[in-house]
Amino acid sequence: MEEKLKLGVIFGGRSGEHEVSLMSARSVLNVLSPEKYDVTQIGITHAGSWVTGENVLAALESGRTNDLTPVILLPEPGQNWLYAVRKTPTGQLLEPLTTLDVIFPVLHGTFGEDGTLQGLLELADLAYIGAGVLGSSAGMDKALFKDVMRAHKVPVLESIVVTRRQIKDHSEEVLVSAEKVSAYPIFVKPANLGSSVGVSKCRNRSDLYEGLLEAASYDRRVLIERGLSKPHEIEVSVLGNDQPQASIPGEVIPSDDFYTYNAKYFDGRSELIIPAPLPAVTIAKIQQYAVEAFLATDCSGMARVDFLLEPDTYQIYLSEINTIPGFTQISMYPKLWEASGLPYPALIDRLIELARERKSERDQTERQYGRKE
């Protein structure tokens, strides 16, 4: 029998999207084949502690993690060990627990999707699913990502970025600058977060000020962006490494005024239309922009690319890229691939293959210059 691949699935995290990560992880864990994979669940608590053991996901969902085993990955290449951290009378002892062949970071938001975890996995020389440090960090920062899109002639909405300090010390100037971006409605978003956490649709100056404070509570950088009136919200899934492919697009009909956190995950009334009822030429252009965005930010493995379309003209605006998209049962990323002919379990298998391919290519890079012993 072929030896099973040792797969570490990491979820939770120090992010406002912690709970969304747990929902995604439950869906992923449910479809992993026990014949193919020896799975180790690695949970990260709200406080940032890494833990494993029996029923890790359930323990994080309930907040009862005291019976779990603290674990650590060392940031150095070698045996690819996950170590248990044992307390001893003289301090702490690292005990090898299991080796890991591939890591699946099912993490959303800061300290998981933004390049920080990817940096650790690069130092540890581990294969992992998804974008590397550059793609993760560029995709996570909405303001920086828009600048990259502008440089590549991909259409995005007008926007500016301000800092938490500016909002606190110069609120009037920030409000005036925001109102120069466009007429209301104006959207305000944390630059580094997803799942619509901290996002506000502002219809007047009072809304705008409250929205700025809300966004600044989640990130030190805040994006202020022109809003559209009742746009088509279109999403496309991208899969691959150097030769990525785009799925058919889907349209979101949010149950709320826009696709809020509650509308995405809890009220069950948002509608997903797959495929999106769009002209063929519009679909082709959206898929083209999605792949261009993926390549421009050096993404790998997977990404979901979100668009806004003017309701009458179908003018396309690329909104953002999500390098670790949602994997819940209602998430667009797996649904779009399933509608494109790739079922959920096969999608997970393909992502693991892409992670190993990327690691194999990374191993071809010379790490020394000059004379070799």
Q: Domain of residue 348: give its range.
A: 139-154+230-361
370 inside domain: no
Among 199, 226, 253, where does a domain finish? Answer: 226
Residues 234 and 175 in one domain: no
Among 197, 226, 255, where does a domain finish? Answer: 226
What was the pLDDT predicted at 141?
A: 93
Residues 144 and 267 in one domain: yes
How far is residue 231's CA from residue 82's CA, in Å, rounded to a whole number?
Answer: 46
373 inside domain: no
Ramachandran assignment for 115, one of left (phi > 0), alpha (psi -120 to 50 degrees), beta (any other): left
* Residue 75 identity (one-letter amino acid): P
Whichever domain contains 169, its CATH number is: 3.30.1490.20
Residues 65 and 199 in one domain: no
The total of structural domains in the chain comes to 3
- What digits encode the pLDDT tens for the residues 136-168? 999 999 999 999 999 999 999 999 999 999 999
What was the pLDDT predicted at 334?
A: 95
What was the pLDDT predicted at 368?
A: 83
Q: Could you write out the DSSP letters of every residue in 115-159? A: SHHHHHHHHTT-EESS--HHHHHHHH-HHHHHHHHHHTT-----E
42 inside domain: yes
How far is residue 289's CA from residue 297's CA, in Å, rounded to a whole number?
Answer: 12
Model-level pTM?
Answer: 0.91
Whichever domain contains 26, its CATH number is: 3.40.50.20
Residues 81 and 10 in one domain: yes
Mean pLDDT throughout 11-16?
Answer: 91
Residues 108 and 146 in one domain: no
Among 185, 201, 226, where does a domain finish? Answer: 226
Task: Work out whether strand 271-273 and strand 127-128 pair parallel, antiparallel, or are unpaired.
Answer: unpaired
**In the structure encoding, which two tokens stand for residue 279, read together?**
């002209």
367 inside domain: no
Residues 289 and 319 in one domain: yes
What is the share, in percent, of the chain residues with pLDDT greater than 90? 81
pLDDT surpassing 90 at residue 169: yes
The CA angle 85-87-92, to the nearest 5 degrees, is: 65
